[in-house]
Structure 1
Amino acid sequence: MKILCLHSDGQNAKIFQSELASFLSKLQQLVVDLSFDFVDVPRHKFYETGEAKDIRTAHQWLEKKLDHDNPYDGVLAFSQSAALVSSFLLYRQWYDHELPPPFRFAIWISGDIPLQVLKDLGVPVSKEAEGVVARARLQRDQGLGPSLAHAAKARRAVFDSDDCFGLNLNRLPLELKIRIPTVHVWGEKDPLFPGSVHLAGLCDPYIRKIHVHQGAHEVPRDGKELTELASLVEWCIQRATWPGQTQL
């Protein structure tokens, strides 16, 4: 089973592999025959802005990678690369729905879905949702933790499809929901976590698992948390290989 591993902006494949070493070791104890393809992205980042045009240009790199090195069973992506992969999946489902998903499952660490992508796909994005993302970035830029207002609403936002930090997910067509098994990981001290909640909300809740660790915008490192996370990813891999899932 082959998993594509994509680092965040400002990193490289070697650093990302080092950060994931303990987790992957635990995962390989649960799931045999796993292989991981760590890739350096162009210029250490996929795109400069969160504009839809910039992101769609970055999709060309991913598409070439998939054409050259597929098949991949799954993808493990951190931060900006998670935004790239999730948006790639949505565009593909919307415009090329006759094609099968390029991955059978996805693991996203501190990932999000750019609101400009949703707008480009015709999704109604409220001023509230834009304000949540803007506030989260301001908290990050000022070196602060999550907004108290965001933290207070966190649990409700995860389970409220009518108001997921300003997004009404019940208004979205099925083609704009990610329908492969997913695991979503973010830190409770990460000011950008509302974006991760947005991404989780766009995924099928029946084949989705969420793990919130005690850190910030980073790969979790605590041994107990890594053991729990490995179990969730094992579930995700098993769910992706169920005969009923592969027929979707």
Structure 2
Amino acid sequence: MEILCLHGDSQDKKILQSELVPLLSRLQSSNQNILFEFVNGPLQYSNSTVDNSPSPEPRSYKFYNAEDVEDIRKAGEWLATKIDRDGPYDGVLAVSQGAAVVSSFLLYRQWYEHELPPAFKFAIFISGSIPLKVLKDLGVPVSNEAENVVAEAKLQRDRALGPLPAHTSKARRAVYNSDDCFGLNLNRIPLELKIRIPTVHVWGENDPLFPASVQLTGLCDPYIRKIQIHKGSHEIPRDGEGLSELVSLIDWCIQRGTWPGQTQL
């Protein structure tokens, strides 16, 4: 079994691999057949501000520069090429910007290439999101409220602040209310534009961007998804309790995604 791992914005595969060492070692101890492939995003840039520096800063990578439809679709084309060339992969584990690419890719594929099988049997989204511009490009009705929530969340992040109290107070209702998932009416979105493979969604209760993770969660089949809310922020849980819970959820996701009956749904 092989799982593709995609990092966040301005990181690289080595950083993600080091952050996931405790998690991966636990997963592989119970299933030695699991392999993880880490990949750098297609866009490379240097953090160095000095040209021709004798000691340049380590290179960082991203999957797109701007969160617009054209750039995100190009990232999706890169991912499709990666799967065709080096796959197939059983599952995907994606963090932050990597998760935005994967969720967008899955929805575009389901809508425009519905005759193809799912690209992955399961997905783990850590601090994930679905770009609202992608939903609008696919014809999904996106309210001003949904856009305002994401804009407010990004402003909190840019100010290095925690989540807005208004978002926190609405969190539980947003997860389970199909009429109002932070502004998205999930009942008005067709099944073809919802992710229908088993998923795990992980976010921190102190992450100002968590409403975007809730929106992505709402677009996944509620009967084959699991949620973990940890004590941290925009990060991978690494404490003992949080790590044990995440291992259990990923084990469930792998088993559910590879269940023979799942491919017939």
| TM-score range for the pair, normalised by the shorter chain length | over 0.9
Count of aligned positions = 248
In the other structure, the counterpart of 1:175 is: 192
Which ranges of structure 2 fall in alignment gaps of 5 or more residues? 45-60
Structure 1 partner of 2:54: none
Say if 1:31 and 1:234, in contact at 8 Å, map to a contact too: no
- The one of 125, 137, 143 aligned to 1:126: 143
TM-score normalised according to structure 2 size: 0.92
Residues 135-189 of structure 1 deviation map (CA, whole Å, 9 limit, x = unaligned): 0000000010000000000011000010000000011111001000000000011
Q: Which amino acid aligns with 1:10?
A: S
Residue 8 (1) aligns with residue 4 (2): no
Hey, which bits of structure 1, 4+ residues long, moved more than 3 A?
Answer: none
For the 8 Å contact 1:26–1:226, the answer to whether it is kept is no
Report the AA paired with residue 225 of structure 1: G
- CA shift digits 1:82-136 (9 cap, x unpaired): 0000000000000000000110000000000000000000000000000000000
- Give the conservation status (yes or no) of the 8 Å contact 1:108–1:183: yes
Verify: 1:216 aligned to 2:233, yes or no: yes
C-alpha contact 1:7 1:79 (8 A) present in aligned 2: yes
Q: 1:31 corresponds to which residue? A: 31
Residues in 1 aligned to 2:37 and 2:182: alpha-carbon distance in whole angstroms? 34
Aligned partner of 1:151 among 162, 168, 176 = 168
C-alpha distance in 1 between matches for 2:19 and 2:38? 12
Match of 2:94 among 77, 86, 106: 77
Between 1 and 2, higher relative CO (CA 8 Å, sep ≥ 6) is seen in: 1
Aligned to 2:71: 54
**What are the superposed Cα offsets for residues 184-226 of structure 1, whole Å, 9 maximum, x if unpaired?**
0000110000000000000000000000111100111111110
Partner of 2:52: none
Separation in structure 2 between the aligned mates of residue 28 and residue 228 of structure 1, nearest angstrom: 15
RMSD: 0.7
How far apart are 1:6 and its partner, in Å? 0.6
| Structure number, greater radius of gyration | 2
Q: Secondary structure at the match of 2:123?
A: strand
SS in 1 for 2:256: helix
Structure 1, unaligned runs of 5 or more: none
Letter of the 2:5 counterpart = C
Structure 1 residue 22 corresponds to structure 2 residue 22: yes
SS in 1 for 2:183: coil
Letter in 2 for 1:168: N
The farther-off stretch of 60-69 and 75-84 is 60-69
